[in-house]
Amino acid sequence: MRGPFRPRRAEDTKVYTGCMPHPDLEFPEAEGPVEAPALVDRLGRPLRDLRISVTDRCNFRCQYCMPKEVFGPNFAFLPRSEIMTFEEITRIARLFAERGVKKLRLTGGEPTLRAKIPTLVEMLREIPDVDIAMTTNGTMLKTLAEPLQRAGLDRVTVSLDSLDDAIFRSMNDMDFPVAMVLEGIDAAAAVGLPVKINAVVRRGVNDYTLLDLARHFRGTPHIVRFIEFMDVGSTNGWKMDEVLPAAELVKQIDAAFPLEPVDANYTGEVAQRYRYRDGQGEIGFITSVTQPFCGTCTRARLSAEGSVYTCLFASEAGADLRAAMRAGASDEDLGALIDATWHARADRYSELRSASTPGTRPHVEMSYIGG
C-alpha cells in the first residue's frame, strides 16, 4: 500500500538552504529592506498549510476511504513506536511554521482516536501565528469538543455525507447513526468552535440526499462543503461514473435555494464558495476532479509516521522526518529537508488526471497520508 521508502538526506539532495527561491523562478529586484522570499516550489507555489495525520486508525470504514474488505480485522496498522510522538509533531510543525505555514490541520485516520489529543493541540498552540483546525468524523466530539476548544483549537470540520440515517450508516459501514454526529456538531458549536461540514458526493449513493443536507444547515453558521468523490488511494474502487460534477449539484441546489458566487477568502482556498441569495448562509464545492485547483495548492502533508508528502495523490514516500529526528538531526538539518522537499515539488496530479487514465496509478491511502 505504501510507496517505496525513500528517505532523502540533506547531503544527497541539491539543497537550496533557508528560504531561497528556486533558481527557475525569478523574483523582481526589491528596493529598500529585503524580506526573505517565501519558500516556493517549482511551480511558484508557496508553502502555507500543513495537514498532520496523527493516526492511521479509524472507527469508521467509509467505503470511499477505508473499505472493510481491505481495512479488515487483520489489517496491519502502524505500531505505536512508528507513530510520531506529540513532541516530534510539534517540533516539525514549528519548523513548517518558520517556513511560512499559517494553518495546521489535524487529521488522520480519525484524529480524535489519538489518546490525549487535546494535549497535542495545547502544544501546537505555543507556535506563534498559526490557525489550528481539525477534520473529524465527529463521533467523539460530544466529549472532546470542550477540551479541544480549551486547548486552543480554532475550528473544526466534521465529515457528514448524508442526513438519511440508513444511507449514512451504510456509507460509514459501521452502522453509526447520524444523530450522534449531529450531537457532536452541536457540542462543538456550543463551546464556540466554528464548524464546517464536509460531504463526499457519490452519484447513485448519496447524491439525492444532498439537498436535505443543504436545507438542514441553511440558516446556521455551519458551512456545508460538497466534495467530489476522488480517486485517492488504490482501494476505494473509484469510477468516474460515480463523480457528480459540482456544477450539476450547484444547479440542483440553486433551483431550490437560489445561490450567488462569493469570492475566495484567500489564495489557495479549495472550495468554490456560494451564498444563498436570501441571506441564509453559505455553501462550498470542492471540485478536485472536474475543476482542479493545483495551481494554487499550498499544502504539505505529514503522515502519521512522519513522512512529508507534497500531494494527496503521491505515489511514493516523501522525506522521512521521523527517521531523521530519531537519528539525531538538528533543526537546521530537518529544515533543510523540508526546504529541499518543497523546492523539488512539481505535483499537479488533478490537473494531469484527465490526460491519463484516472484511477490506474497507485497512490498512498488517504487514511495514512491524512485527508
| Site for ligand SAM, rule CB under 6 A | 58, 64-65, 107-108, 110, 135-137, 159, 198, 200, 227, 229-230, 232, 236, 366-367, 371
Q: How far is the CB of 314 from ligand SAM (least distance, A)?
A: 14
Distances in Å between the Cα of 88 and the Cα atoms of 110, 121, 153 are 19, 13, 19
Tell me which of ligand SF4, ligand SAM, none is bound by residue 230, counting a contact when its beta carbon lies within the kind-specific cut-off of 5 to 8 angstroms: ligand SAM
Q: How far is the CB of 158 from ligand SF4 (least distance, A)?
A: 10
Q: Which helix (H) or strand (E) holds 121?
A: helix 117-125
Neighbouring CB atoms inside 10 A of 12's CB total 9
**Which string of b and e fits 273-304 if b means at least 16 CB within 10 Å?**
bbbbeeeebbbbbbbbbbebbbeebbbbbbbb
Residue closer to ligand SAM (CB basis): 40 or 178: 178
Q: How far is the CB of 342 from ligand SF4 (least distance, A)?
A: 12
Binding mask 323-352 for ligand SF4 (x = CB under 6 A): ------------------------xxxx--
Residue closer to ligand SAM (CB basis): 60 or 257: 60
Q: Which helix (H) or strand (E) holds 94?
A: helix 86-98
Residue closer to ligand SAM (CB basis): 288 or 298: 288
Tell me which of ligand SAM, ligand SF4, none is bound by residue 285, counting a contact when its beta carbon lies within the kind-specific cut-off of 5 to 8 angstroms: none
Tell me which of ligand SAM, ligand SF4, none is bound by residue 347, counting a contact when its beta carbon lies within the kind-specific cut-off of 5 to 8 angstroms: ligand SF4
Q: What are the E-state strand segments in 242-360?
A: 259-262, 272-276, 282-286, 299-302, 308-309
Dmax over CA atoms of the chain, in Å, equals: 63
Contact with ligand SF4 (CB under 6 A): which of 53, 137, 162, 235?
Answer: 137
Q: Are strands 131-136 and 155-159 parallel, antiparallel or unpaired?
A: parallel
Residue closer to ligand SF4 (CB basis): 259 or 311: 311
Q: Which three cell numbers stand for residue 119?
A: 494535549
Distances in Å between the Cα of 43 and the Cα atoms of 4, 88, 127 are 25, 29, 28
In the block, residue with C-alpha cell 505529514:
302
Under a CB-based contact definition with an 8 Å cutoff, are residues 289 and 350 in contact?
A: yes
Dist. CA 363–CA 88, nearest whole Å: 26
Q: How far is the CB of 273 from ligand SF4 (least distance, A)?
A: 17
Question: Among candidates 153, 136, 141, 219, which has minimal Cα distance to 186?
Answer: 141
Q: Is 306 one of the binding residues for ligand SF4 (CB under 6 A)?
A: no
Tell me which of ligand SAM, ligand SF4, none is bound by residue 293, counting a contact when its beta carbon lies within the kind-specific cut-off of 5 to 8 angstroms: ligand SF4
Contact with ligand SF4 (CB under 6 A): which of 66, 104, 145, 201?
Answer: 66
Q: Is 268 one of the binding residues for ligand SF4 (CB under 6 A)?
A: no
Beta bridge partners of 282: 275
Q: Are strands 223-228 and 259-262 parallel, antiparallel or unpaired?
A: unpaired
Q: Is 162 one of the binding residues for ligand SF4 (CB under 6 A)?
A: no
Q: Is 294 one of the binding residues for ligand SF4 (CB under 6 A)?
A: yes
Q: How far is the CB of 61 from ligand SF4 (least distance, A)?
A: 6
Residues that bind ligand SF4 (CB under 6 A): 58, 60-62, 65-66, 108-110, 137, 159, 292-294, 297, 311-313, 347-350, 367
